[in-house]
Amino acid sequence: MPLSSKERYARFRAKLMADPAAREENLARRRERQRQRKQAGEGNHYHTVKELTTVAHAKKKEQWRLHQKKCREKKRQVEALMNLTPVSEDSFVDEHHDHPEPFQHFSPPGPSQHSTPPGPSQQCSTPHKPPKKTTSSSRTGQRTKKLREEIAQLKRDLVKEKRRADRCRKKANRLMITKRRKEIKNRSTKIFRKGPARRRSVVEFLTRDENSRLLPGKKDTVSKDRVKEQRRVLSKSLKELHKEYNAEVGEGCVVSYRQFVRLRPFYVTEPKANDRNTCACLDHENVSLLLEKLHQSGLVASKSTTEALGNIVCDMKSRECMHRLCTKCCYTEMEPLLPDESGQVSWSQWQREKVCTDGKTYSHFVKKTLTGTWADLVKSFNEKLDRLAKHQYTWIHQVEKCREVKNSLKHHEAVVHMDFSENYACKLNVEVQHFHWGGSRKQATVHTCMAYTEEGSQAYATISDSLRHDERAVWAHLKPVLDDIQRNPRITTVHFMSDGPLTQYRNRKNFYLMCTLPFIRGIKEMTWNFSEKAHGKGAPDGVGGSIKRIADAFVLQGGDIQHPEELFSFLEKSNSSVKFHWVSEADIARVDEAVPDVLPVVRGTLGIHQVTTNTPGKISCRELSCFCHRMGLSCECESPSVLNYNTEKAAPSATIPTQDDVVGKMVIVSYDKKPFVGQVLKVVGEEVEVSCMQQSGTKNCFVWPQIRDVLFYFQTDVIAVISEPEPSTSRSSRLSLEDWERFILV
């Protein structure tokens, strides 16, 4: 009978395994064939682990795991069977048949001619049955049955042993965990405190004003584990913040991105679709629009404004670099590789437009679509990035120094952060149509404050039926707050913080009230710090949203708030931690009487970010909020300009004298509302003849033009007399730091 293919292959394999040399030769041939197939592109089902995709690799690992599990289970079953001692046939016979009985042969009963019929006694007796024969098949079946019973018993014993081993292992783990906890509890090292400290560090970093903004709305809340917090929205991506955090804490305390995301507090969230930023910064937004266009075209690698600024300056924490005064990086610009095509490209920008209506001129901001070449786009981007550098430095510098002051307050100091909240519209649970759509609804002015002292912080909210938001109303709202703070007689220095609207805080009338009213109350020193434009959000906005949410909840439950007095009465009786005070029209009128009709003019009010006073009637205006006078450090800001309010006459405007000795001096003049640097040639009556220099772009770089630019100006057009520009290159010159600040503030 011919052999089958399987039998032939089995013989061949047995022969091959018996000869090691032939086996190695066969394996080498197989490897060579497989290599040739791979090179020829055949055998695509042969893939290494590195060639597999992530999903295919995961599936393959799962197959390996199941295969190994089956192999281990089969191996355990084989080992369990091999450990049994089989019973031989001889021992089985010897054990059960030590004294076998002889076989007796019985002939079957049948009719016989010699037999006699049985009698009655024989018929009643039980017939004798012959014994059963014990054959080899019956003995094998009994032995197999016994072996199966023993195997089943062993399996049951094995299951019991496994359960007992699991209980012992769990008990050992509990004992080990308990021992480890005791060791950690008894060991007061820095490693034990590293986790909570790291969490606090990440939370503090993400809740900074430069990294996330507080939403002021009354519905902008989030709850977790019955804890409700006001939402904060990240101003940058988490990956960018993770890089900044690791760069700040250093190599010893770096965290992974996954750990950084895990430690993020629940109330600091990514911006959602309905979180429209209606208070975006104009400078940041214009640069972001240009960066996004360049990134979409593949000209820049990142859309991050911080990375773009880092590419053009040496150090983002250096004032000279960010003000573009550093000799090493002041001429550095981003020069992306422009595409070969010379066609037109379009981009979006926010611009101011002047609209004339009924003889009055208004400023409107419109998002426009501009067109030009790629070179025009890059030039506009570099100019706006230069202006953004100073704006970015001022904003970051302010929040850092204000945070330092809050964290290091002395026993005689207090910080008051204030802002006007949006007026609260009084409402009722059930309103008639004429009330809802008519003009009968009353509004309440809400002015919120956060006061910080060495002992802690306290929130305040002053309610008024007066809709005035000017500087005199501000001091009327501040009076009850200062009364509560000055219950501690040690408080003699107050630092005010606010945004910088000209109609509320940053104007000459407020400067006058600063250097008069606090000294009457016994305050010896005071500072007022104005935030950078479009970056004034803070804790007072959260206080305003909180109290409006409380009032709306009361109305939804059936209450009525029809007048500002009713709003104040309800809030005062509520269980809120905010302290409420009422401000009437008479309180604001008393402050009106303290302001004189004539006050000196303060030039460059928009550029003032800090005013300080420690003498009645005098204040010092600084450009940056640095707190250098308080911290005892050397001030890196400009020398302050002192305003004297002791005189009743207004301060004269900054014009040059008409004497002949001013001829030849450098001045800053204004022409068509733009500043120019020039040299006075002669003075003729009320006019001066000035030869102007030419500025290179928006940088601190001035050159004398080949064709002289000489023109007569009125003395009122002369801004200030400046020092001689110092040479920066063989042809160009630059202004001093003080003169450059005056130039850009015009």
Reply yes or no on whether the pLDDT at 331 is more than 50.
Answer: yes
Distance from C-alpha of 222 to C-alpha of 229, rounded to nearest angstrom = 6
Residue 536 CB partners (closer than 8 Å, separation 6+) = 419, 498, 499, 500
pLDDT in tens, 168-222: 988 888 888 887 777 766 654 444 456 778 888 888 889 887 788 888 777 788 8
pLDDT of residue 217: 73
pLDDT of residue 220: 81
pLDDT in tens, 242-271: 988 888 887 777 888 988 988 899 989 887
Instruction: Provide mean pLDDT across the span 133-149.
Output: 76
pLDDT in tens, 553-576: 899 888 899 999 999 999 999 888
Distance from C-alpha of 84 to C-alpha of 75, rounded to nearest angstrom = 15
Question: Which DSSP helix (H) or strand (E) runs through 461?
Answer: strand 456-464
Q: Picking from 450-459, 563-572, 592-601, which range would have the lowest pLDDT averaged per residue?
A: 592-601
Kindly state the percentage of the chain with pLDDT values over 70. Answer: 83
Please name which of 457, 466, 305, 301 lies closest in space to residue 391, comparing C-alpha atoms. 305
Band (pLDDT 50/70/90 cuts) for residue 644 is: low
Band (pLDDT 50/70/90 cuts) for residue 723 is: confident
pLDDT of residue 113: 42
Report yes or no on whether pTM surpasses 0.85.
no
Distance from C-alpha of 439 to C-alpha of 434, rounded to nearest angstrom = 8
Q: 482: number of CA atoms within 13 Å, CB side?
A: 19
Maximum mean pLDDT: which of 187-191, 412-416, 510-514:
412-416
Q: How many Å from the N-terminal Cα to the C-terminal Cα in the chain?
A: 113
Residue in the block written with tokens 């054959």: 135
